[in-house]
Amino acid sequence: MQIDEEYILQISSRFPKLSKTSKGSYSCRCGFCGDSKKPYKKSANFYPKGDTFNYICFRKDCNKRSSLKNVLKELEPELYGKYMEEMRNENHSSSFWDDYNRTQEAERMYRSLSTPHSFEDLRNNSKEWKERVWEAH
């Protein structure tokens, strides 16, 4: 949890007006849709979920929902690598780590088996699958 909060702060430049609420979540402007034209609006939130944080944007035309892990992966691949490394060092919950290994494994498999043309399709499928894995938690 501590590590997650450090990483939320590290990507705060992408999420204007980020601030911690009394409930322990972080409200901010959405870095994905740019949020409302009204500069004081904060439609997005990082909220604690289990032993990590999830991201949500409440704007109807955005409706972004993601784990902190995937937000990092999407926006800051380098930071994501560091994050996964720290999680491993922290001996984080094994299911979390298993998921990561499984998806890495699947990607390696797709890469070695697929022709370039079908690779994109498989990649999309694996992305969907990853999201389902996340939803199941």
The contact set with Zn ion (CB under 5 A) reads 30, 32-33, 57, 59, 62, 64
Minimum CB–partner distance for residue 120 and Zn ion (Å): 26
Return all residues near 128 (Cβ < 8 A) that are at least 6 apart: none
Residue 21 · residue 53 · CB < 8 Å: no
Q: Which is nearer to Zn ion, 62 or 122 (CB)?
A: 62
Q: Which is nearer to Zn ion, 14 or 123 (CB)?
A: 14
| SS3 sequence of 22-33 | CCCCEEECCCCC
Q: Which is nearer to Zn ion, 27 or 114 (CB)?
A: 27
Q: Across the strands, what pairs with 26?
A: 20, 46
52-57 sheet: strands from edge to edge:
19-20, 26-28, 44-49, 52-57, 65-67
Q: Which is nearer to Zn ion, 4 or 35 (CB)?
A: 35
Beta-carbon count within 10 A of 134 CB: 15
Minimum CB–partner distance for residue 50 and Zn ion (Å): 23
Minimum CB–partner distance for residue 43 and Zn ion (Å): 6
Minimum CB–partner distance for residue 12 and Zn ion (Å): 16
